[in-house]
Structure 1
Amino acid sequence: MFNNLRKRWRAGVVAIAALGLGLGAVVHTQGASAATWPSATGTVKLTATKAVSGTLDGGLKRYVGSGALGTGSQDEGQDPLFTLADGATLKNVIIGSPAADGVHCLGSCTISNVWWENVGEDAATFKGGSSAKYTVTGGGAKGADDKVFQHNGGGTLTVSGFAVSDFGKLYRSCGNCKTQYKRAVVLKNIEVTAPGSSLVGINSNFGDTATFSGITVIGDSSKKISICVTYKGNKTGAEPTKVATYKASTGGDGTNCKFTSANITYK
């Protein structure tokens, strides 16, 4: 209930501000980062999931859900705005609100200069096999009540030059999928703006790893945002059990959570 009310409040703020500032204006919600967000060159409404093979260059148009995709809630099982086939690239896209379940990568994929103005269920979900390579370069995301990046398949996700603000978790390795993998995430040159809960949640019992470098945290003087949280994942659908939490002051464990205090800068 609270999450849905929060989403509707954000959507109302964006809509009201857009009327006064014009369609191309970018509205910064609470916790907006210091990153420079692009202005939309137009708006495209999607009533059904758009399948991408090869490369889709959106020309910085704003894509929003409509009809069956017209929800900005945290409800599970929503359809995505985009599905990326193995090897596909999505670039120069602004995903507005409602965003449904964002982007699904069905195999290896590249997401470049994609901006989520108000994350729906998740910004992107990665579903490839154990050898899949996913790359997110540039872009940013705001307003994720829960997760930004959800890793359900296997393989390695590398995120670089990305900005995130007002979020729950930047990355979560699925804690209770029926098929589990050893997953890896690499975060490089990430700008994090409070409020937020944690950057990464991984399953230490399945051998997941998270590697951090060049992390800048803005507006978190009390250092509440956790850098890396480990869980005991399962295949039964049960809620995973938290194992350990690592902050910038402690550094990681060097095995699953790979960072030192030198990798985290506060502003």
Structure 2
Amino acid sequence: MARAAQRRRSRVLVAGVVALSIAAAVAGTRMASAAETETVTATVRVTGTFDGQGGRFVAGPELGDGGQAEGQDAMFELADGATLTNVTLGAPAADGVHCLGSCTLRNVNWEDVGEDAATFTGAGATVLVEGGSAAQGTDKVFQDNRLAGGSVTIRDFAVTDFGKLYRSCGNCDEQAARTVTISGVTATAPGKVIAAVNVNLGDRVTLSGITITGSGADDVHVCDLFEGNDTGAEPVKIATEPDGVACVATGITVQ
């Protein structure tokens, strides 16, 4: 009885089970209940829709320790057009979620952001982050490495104890002008910046309905503006306020 209960509480996704997980994800089949935790030992590759139905997932050591070291693997890798919904990523979360093109992240919660919560790649990708939350994002929550075209929309999201909610890559080998819209976000300090974008590369971010609260809320920047590059050098910060062009902000409340 005790062993059976233990198996119900924590199931391990070993490599041989990942294929079944993918098939279940595509079919929209329940993967884990809100009372269960699954340990992911190999990246779950998703096409179609993966509905976790409130399940909680943590990364095994095979993927990474959830620190800031580069090169960790994603827990979930979304193919172009895929959706991840109703999932909680516990700690450690390794490198979170990778979107290889257009994707939707709906009601996804990160209890403790690993290297990044989610990374966006691909040319012309359209990304929607709707609902959900993230906490303890030491550096970046959403990392945008997309190439030309497409957009990122982040709405109705909550973030707590964070570095940057959104960062347009400042020193990727290939760069592009990136467009992002952020609305209906509640950011609880401590935190550094809601959006960091590259002025010289043509980035555009529009923010509205942002509430910044908590101890240290006055220290949180709405926008940080950078000069980005494609050489790998550290990007240079040139401003810390909306400029009305690269960063347009309305309806910002600091409590």
TM-score, with length taken from structure 2: 0.84
Residue number in structure 1 paired with 2:24: none
Deviations 1:99-132 (A, max 9, x none): 0000000000000000000000000000021x21
CA distance in 2 between partners of 1:221 and 1:107 (Å) = 36
2:191 is paired with a residue whose SS is: coil
Residue number in structure 2 paired with 1:148: 141
CA deviation after TM superposition for structure 1 residue 259, in Å:
1.1
Structure number with bigger Rg: 2
The question of 1:80 aligning with 2:70 is answered no
Equivalent residues of 1:97, 1:117 under 8 A apart: yes
The number of aligned residues is 223
Residue number in structure 2 paired with 1:259: 249
CA distance in 2 between partners of 1:201 and 1:115 (Å) = 22
Query: Could you tell me which amino acid in structure 1 is paired with residue 75 of structure 2?
Result: L
CA deviation after TM superposition for structure 1 residue 220, in Å:
4.5
Query: Could you tell me which amino acid in structure 2 is paired with residue 123 of structure 1?
Result: A
Query: Could you tell me which amino acid in structure 2 is paired with residue 133 of structure 1?
Result: T
CA distance in 2 between partners of 1:99 and 1:87 (Å) = 23
CA distance in 1 between partners of 2:219 and 2:212 (Å) = 11
CA distance in 2 between partners of 1:186 and 1:109 (Å) = 15
CA deviation after TM superposition for structure 1 residue 196, in Å:
0.2
Comparing 63-72 with 51-60, greater Cα deviation is found at: 63-72
Equivalent residues of 1:142, 1:165 under 8 A apart: yes
TM-score, with length taken from structure 1: 0.81
**Counterpart among 171, 180, 183 of residue 175 in structure 2:** 180
2:146 is paired with a residue whose SS is: coil
Instruction: Give the gaps of 5 or more residues in structure 2.
Output: 1-8, 10-32
Residue number in structure 2 paired with 1:94: 88
Equivalent residues of 1:197, 1:226 under 8 A apart: yes
1:178 is paired with a residue whose SS is: coil
CA deviation after TM superposition for structure 1 residue 70, in Å:
4.3
Equivalent residues of 1:166, 1:193 under 8 A apart: yes
The question of 1:138 aligning with 2:131 is answered yes
Equivalent residues of 1:60, 1:94 under 8 A apart: yes
CA distance in 2 between partners of 1:213 and 1:120 (Å) = 27
User: Within 5 A, what are the aligned runs for 1:1-267?
Assistant: 40-129=34-123, 131-154=124-147, 155-220=150-215, 223-246=218-241, 252-260=242-250, 263-267=251-255
Query: Could you tell me which amino acid in structure 2 is paired with residue 112 of structure 1?
Result: R
Q: Which runs of 4+ in 1 moved over 6 A?
A: none
CA distance in 2 between partners of 1:122 and 1:265 (Å) = 26
Backbone CA RMSD of aligned residues: 1.5
More relative contact order in 1 or in 2 (CA 8 Å, sep 6+)? 1
What fraction of aligned residue pairs are identical, expressed as a percent?
54
CA distance in 2 between partners of 1:219 and 1:88 (Å) = 35
1:45 is paired with a residue whose SS is: strand
CA deviation after TM superposition for structure 1 residue 266, in Å:
2.1
CA deviation after TM superposition for structure 1 residue 69, in Å:
1.6
CA distance in 2 between partners of 1:118 and 1:193 (Å) = 14
